[in-house]
Structure 1
Amino acid sequence: MQPLLAAALRESLELAGLILESMLIASNFGLCATVKTQTVVKAPDWVYIPSVKPIASGEIRRSYTPHLQGEIPTIVLEFISETEGGEYSINPHYPYGKWYFYEQILQVPVYGIFQPKTGELEIYRLNQGRYEQQKTNENNRYWIAEINLFLGVWQGKKAEVTAYWLRWWDKSGNLLLWGSELVEQERQRAEQAELELEQERISRQRLVQKLKELGVNPENL
């Protein structure tokens, strides 16, 4: 389920034209840091980095070291799986807990923990070096100022899977759609346009018939 959740988050951003070439958005991707000569690597389920240094043509980016290779991540998301993944671990010793790594080592501004089974989403924001749990708005969504979007939970079907999904909304409350939803939206628009044309044709026919009943030749009008 984790790969589907991560792909869905990226898909709507991409279709909305909100992903730039300078960004790095990835899942299960190694974030690296060197602490006391030891290399520490964590692979969050989803990460959004606003600006990274380009790599040579033909190369594949296999990991990322903030500051050295670009900016620190704006937001990191972890999806709780069947096995304990240490999303809340504050272990301050090597190999370090995820929470400690994101909060104290990388100092990621926004950390989210999502439970796909129950649809529970917790968002924490870095404040004076510590994560503080955030509150949702009246629509149960979190405002992510760094991305200028709301993040929330949506229950429904995608890729033949009915589940709780993480979705984006703009500041006006409009849902950022997936590709399948855009196709369906366009289909409905086409059907509506066709229906309106048919109704217009029927109205013209009725008008012509009425004029004929009144002894008026429509072609002379």
Structure 2
Amino acid sequence: MTQTLSKSAETKNQYTVTWEKLPDDFKLPDAPVENIDQPLLAAALREALDLAGFILAPMLIASNFGLCAKVNDKTVVKAPDWVFVPSVLPAEPGDVRPSYTPNGEGEVPAVVMDFLSDTDGSEYSKKHTDPYGKWRFYERILQVPIYVIFEPKSRVLEVYRLWNSAEYELQKPDANQRLWIESMGLFLGVWEGEKSQRTGYWLRWWDEKGNLLLWGAERVEQERQRTEEERERADRLMAYLRSQGIDPDGI
């Protein structure tokens, strides 16, 4: 599948984009993860979705994963720190998907995220010529509807929405400092606390009613507290019955 994307008068660029699955022998760029925070942040986002029953078979949710397109006859691969695709074509049995080509293998990603490191600002790059920056690739070539940029140390969260299939527009958070991600039916916001031996700021999901989607350890603790509260209520009831001269064991 091939399409020509006309750009703004400012750049006067035209991108001819071909959506072709990469050949099996294509060598993907071997870019290292910037720091240990990035995989932890990505895994935490997926964990909450998985436990909430959000993830369905057709979906693709991945981290540090190559998104591909052939632009002006040159293969371009960018790896966001987190990506959500609502529906993809099934992989062959036993195959591990090494990368993803939108339109050729399924839908365009609905959400991409980048977690900024101390030293790398390339996620913001709007460079419109080869080699393209991530911003330009997501905005103008892939046309991803939502681009999230998060700086974990400063807690700055920016959510950009593609406006009229042309340019990203910064979204304003609600009164709770959360942003509605329509394609997921969830709010995204910043939470401070400890997980996986890391204390700091995290991205978290909330449902439309404002309920936080819990991680596994939080669910275990919630169940423990519920069991403890039930035991305490039972103890108070037995104590009351005894105070009234009633043997609860004889009831």
May I ask how many residue pairs the two structures share in their alignment?
A: 212
Give how far 1:85 is off. Answer: 4.1
Q: Which residue of 1 aligns with 2:123?
A: 87
Deviations 1:188-209 (A, max 9, x none): 0000011111111111111116
Give how far 1:70 is off. Answer: 0.2
CA–CA separation in structure 2 for the residues paired with 1:139 and 1:197: 37
Bigger shift: residues 199-208 or 24-33? 199-208
- Pair 1:12 & 2:58 matched: no
Structure 2 residues without counterparts, runs of 5 or longer:
1-36
Deviations 1:100-150 (A, max 9, x none): 000000000000100001100000000021000000000000011111110
CA–CA separation in structure 2 for the residues paired with 1:90 and 1:148: 29
1:171 to 173, 196, 208: 208
CA–CA separation in structure 1 for the residues paired with 2:176 and 2:241: 46
SS at match of 1:208: coil
Give how far 1:57 is off. Answer: 1.1
SS at match of 1:48: strand
1:193 to 215, 222, 230: 230
SS at match of 2:184: coil
Q: Which residue of 2 aligns with 1:137?
A: 174
Give how far 1:83 is off. Answer: 2.2
Letter in 2 for 1:163: G
2:86 to 31, 43, 50: 50
2:161 to 113, 116, 125: 125
CA–CA separation in structure 2 for the residues paired with 1:161 and 1:201: 43
Letter in 1 for 2:196: A
Percent identity over the alignment?
A: 57
> Which structure dedicates a bigger proportion of its chain to helix?
1
CA RMSD of aligned residues (A): 1.4
Letter in 2 for 1:90: K
Letter in 2 for 1:121: L
Point out 4+ residue stretches in structure 1 off by more than 3 angstroms.
none
Deviations 1:82-107 (A, max 9, x none): 22141111111112010000000000
Normalized against structure 2, the TM-score is what? 0.82
- Pair 1:26 & 2:65 matched: no
Normalized against structure 1, the TM-score is what? 0.93
CA–CA separation in structure 1 for the residues paired with 2:83 and 2:221: 29
* Larger-gyration structure (1/2): 1
CA–CA separation in structure 1 for the residues paired with 2:232 and 2:126: 60
Letter in 2 for 1:195: E
CA–CA separation in structure 2 for the residues paired with 1:105 and 1:61: 22
Deviations 1:3-25 (A, max 9, x none): 00000000101100000011000
CA–CA separation in structure 2 for the residues paired with 1:85 and 1:39: 23
